[in-house]
Amino acid sequence: MEKIKIGIIICDRYRTCAGGKCFRALQKREGAFERYQNKEVELAGYTTCGGCPGGNIEYAPEEMKKNGVTHVHFATGFLVGYPPCPYMEHFAKFIPENYGMQVVFGTHPIPQKYFLTHQKLDTWNTAFLQESIQPTLTDKKTRLRYD
């Protein structure tokens, strides 16, 4: 079975997050982790972005790569925060260009309460955000389990 090493970067707004929803979703292969359904996955890095504008993004992927990380997941908080992180599109270009690592937006499924709020506010109204939220949209029943 193919083994993938991933790193998770969380938005610094949520720096006290213990990662419970991310780890549960990884274990259950839900949300953005569904892509690893038939693969062995090892979490080899977990950190914050360092705060706006993402100062840790310059350094954290390099350390993660030394530990074998090939896929960097930006936690769902980047997508559902108010507002969503305005630097994600830059990160999506910077990390692959400088470190050759794949960037995935999202970890756990978007909680239903955030889904409804962002739908009302029309927050995810750009092509980039529409594409970025796809792995974490899931179905309503799953979103409710992450509220």
User: Which domains does the chain possess?
Assistant: 3-145 (3.40.50)
Give me the chain's average pLDDT, please. 96
- Mind listing the pLDDT tens digit for each residue in 64-102? 999 999 999 999 999 999 999 999 999 999 999 999 999
Q: CB within 8 A of 42, min separation 6: which ones?
A: 3, 4, 5, 6, 68
Residues 35-60 have a mean pLDDT of 96
Q: Give, rounded to a whole angstrom, the gap between the first and last alpha carbons of the chain.
A: 33
- pLDDT band at 106, cuts 50/70/90? very high
Residues 121-128 have a mean pLDDT of 96
- pLDDT band at 58, cuts 50/70/90? very high
What's the token pair of residue 76? 């769902």
- pLDDT band at 24, cuts 50/70/90? very high
Q: Assess whether the previous peptide bond of 135 is cis (omega < 30° from 0).
A: no
- pLDDT band at 2, cuts 50/70/90? confident
Residues 103-123 have a mean pLDDT of 97
